[in-house]
């Protein structure tokens, strides 16, 4: 999107060839630009922010839906004042849309998060009264014992900031759930 006169493959080739830099450092293929970043091609500044703002987001019935791989170190918050929030990472793409995360991951975890401005879809997925089943596959370090698996299944006490209404911290026990070990010894081991 930052090089509208090129195809995506051509732009990717420039990045792979080390010709693109962000803030003076050679850009990695997966790097996301943030407002204020300085983008250069062959040492020349590229005015990318205006180009990114003009890019149209694909919509479905007027709503946008994103699959976002949240990296470790960022919160699922959409708070524009929080530099560690997903919103701060996605700001150039979001324009002025108000997005909601359909679920959340802790700051020290990574994984897929669905983002949308379709509040009804988020409510349909997350409201407890709708009883939507959720499945998580996680890798933990250090390896957990059978006792830990039983404790997790009985529910755990968590604290979180309330997303609706005044921001206040709420502490509660999660509902019991099914927890099973699917492998031992790391990814790919059984």
Token pair recorded at residue 57: 């987001």
**Catalytic: 108?**
no
Of 186, 104, 184, whose CA–CA distance to 146 is shortest? 184
Distance CA 184, CA 190 (A): 5
Token pair recorded at residue 176: 């019991």
Are the beta carbons of 78 and 85 closer than 8 angstroms? yes
Distance CA 96, CA 141 (A): 39
Secondary structure of 38-93 as H, E, C letters:
CEEECCEEECHHHHHHHCCCCCECCECEEEEEECCCCECCCCCCCCCEHHHHHHHH
Output Rg (C-alpha) for the chain, integer angstroms: 20
Are the beta carbons of 100 and 78 closer than 8 angstroms? yes
Q: Which of 12, 42, 106, 123 is catalytic?
A: 106
Report the catalytic residues: 106
């Amino acid at each position: 999107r930052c090089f509208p006169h090129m195809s995506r493959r051509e732009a990717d080739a420039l990045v792979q060839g080390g010709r693109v830099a962000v803030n003076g450092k050679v850009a990695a293929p997966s790097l996301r630009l943030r407002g204020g970043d300085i983008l250069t091609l062959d040492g020349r500044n590229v005015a990318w922010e205006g180009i990114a703002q003009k890019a149209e987001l694909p919509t479905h019935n007027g709503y946008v839906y994103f699959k976002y791989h949240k990296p470790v170190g960022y919160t699922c918050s959409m708070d524009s004042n929080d530099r560690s929030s997903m919103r701060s990472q996605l700001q150039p793409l979001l324009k002025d849309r108000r997005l909601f995360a359909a679920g959340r991951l802790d700051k020290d975890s990574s994984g897929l998060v669905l983002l949308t401005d379709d509040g009804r879809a988020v409510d349909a997925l997350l409201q407890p009264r709708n009883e939507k089943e959720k499945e998580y596959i996680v890798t933990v370090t250090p390896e957990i014992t059978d006792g830990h698996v039983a404790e997790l299944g009985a529910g755990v006490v968590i604290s979180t900031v309330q997303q609706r209404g005044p921001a206040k911290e709420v502490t509660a026990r999660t509902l019991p759930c099914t927890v099973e070990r699917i492998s031992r010894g790391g990814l790919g081991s059984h």
